[in-house]
A and B are shown apart, each in its own frame.
Chain A
């Protein structure tokens, strides 16, 4: 039980997919113009990550190691097709804005890397918690970036006006996403430096 909580926490902060592992950066910039969009895509990724981690950990003994990559891609594509059919029913307006990226979940590096590194070796329950932790960490990252960009760019939080003016319009422009992620990554580095006293090695970046 203790290990499962550890796995959940691990994905959320110490190995956060966006800020620490620097995986799947495209959606992190593209859909985070508001909290709503970020949350939607984050939940979709959480669903796909948990489902495909579970599927792979169940069927791992039937997948021949030499064709494992195509097999993983097909499993992910299956769950993405499922969520691609569910989301337009639940929330049509938000779906319209993140449509392309829902389909692109197939090629998100974070999902396939968790399948390869974790789910293909571990039993069902730890795989579930690892998937949930990584998905939740990804969702947390998207919501954090979305909140910063929406607050500074549009003066809103979750669609409600809080400021009444737009302090930094550049934040919701394409460039703003890059700036925000750059600064958040630097903040994470700085925090780690303050806590542990040494600078982390910079992320690999793919």
Chain B
């Protein structure tokens, strides 16, 4: 009975967060898309004049962060229905950043339609999310290349069993607090111009979620709760759990990107814990020099892992 009650509460919370995400996505403006590495496609929605469209002076394009550096346009072509224009650029575009294309004095059938239309061009959502996920999990693994969460990493990685349990609990708390912090930051803090309070608000939110996990696990699965008891509370003092919402807020990530970063960071941390616990179980039976026993040798092993994880930087294909 009580399990059902909790499940209903969780389901409601998830439904609510998806509603919030949906409403945020609905506010999208005019968009364009990358075609080949030198081309951008924009859709006007109505037929436009061919001679207007072929004049490249009517268009300007720039990368979103620096609007002053215009990118030279070689030619513009219209498709058969004259609604879709393809801009060809002289140099290859950097598809990992966002572009803005501006069209001025849009004319249709000899009449002036609009003074200025702005198109924002970015990669497909799924591609961006996959990049964020892979980046958080492997390329910029939070433990091995960003040195976050080391206290728990060294504290919990002595046995495989606790490492796995900690990884799962941690990922759950991370994902839920990432989405909650995003909602609080964009709907409460930013609208009220209270950005400077974000540290206090985020740490409060994380503490609430850890407390919630504690309460839910105690009722739903007392066995797992007993296994994780101490580590559950330790999550509050983990750097990663605070770093993820802060990174999301700094880079202006949307709801799905925030969720993906949280998930990637959680899985990456779980992976790091598991790898380390495998090595440390073997170290127990090795003959380590007396002065290196315990933490010093663990640090050296982590350094070797970090060197290995450098290899993943070649994965940055998106």
Q: Interface residues, chain A, CB within 8 Å of chain B?
A: 22-27, 29-30, 70, 73-74, 77-78, 80-81, 84-85, 100, 103-104, 106-107, 109, 112, 170, 173-179, 181-183, 185-187, 189-190, 193, 199, 201-206
Contact = CB atoms under 8 A, between A and B. Distances in A.
Contacts of A84: 196, 199
Q: What's the dominant secondary structure at chain A's contact region? A: helix
A186 B292 contact: yes
Given A70-B207, A106-B242, A178-B302, A185 B150 contact: no
Interface string B248-292: 000000000000000000000000000000000000000001111
Q: What's the dominant secondary structure at chain B's contact region? A: helix
A193 B144 CA distance: 31
Contacts of A190: 291
A192 B207 CA distance: 39
Nearest to A77: B200
A176 B239 contact: no
A174 B310 contact: yes
B7 interface: no
B152 A206 contact: yes
B297 A182 contact: yes
Contact of B154 (A22, A85, A187): A22
Contact of B296 (A104, A175, A185, A193): A185
Contacts of B28: none
Nearest to A184: B296
7 contacts: A73-B236, A100-B243, A104-B242, A175-B307, A186-B289, A201-B294, A205-B295
A202 B290 CA distance: 10
Contacts of A81: 196-197, 199-200
Contact of B291 (A27, A104, A193): A193
B306 interface: yes
B251 to A, nearest CB: 12
A139 to B, nearest CB: 18
Question: A85, A112, A174, A176 — which one has the most chain B CB atoms within 10 A of its CB?
Answer: A174
Interface residues of B, number: 48
A34 B188 CA distance: 38
A80 B199 contact: yes
A181 B154 CA distance: 13
A78 B201 CA distance: 11
Given A173-B307, A179-B300, A179-B303, 18 more contacts: A22-B295, A25-B154, A73-B207, A77-B199, A77-B203, A78-B200, A81-B196, A84-B196, A104-B148, A107-B237, A109-B151, A112-B237, A175-B306, A178-B306, A183-B300, A203-B294, A205-B295, A205-B298
B303 A106 contact: no
B296 A103 contact: no
A189 B150 contact: no
Interface string B73-105: 000000000000000000000000000000000
B13 interface: no
Contacts of B243: 100, 104
Nearest to A22: B295
A82 to B, nearest CB: 10
B199 to A, nearest CB: 5
B58 interface: no
B200 A205 contact: no
B246 interface: yes
Question: A26, A84, A201 — which one has the most chain B CB atoms within 10 A of its CB?
Answer: A26
Question: A25, A80, A112 — which one has the most chain B CB atoms within 10 A of its CB?
Answer: A25
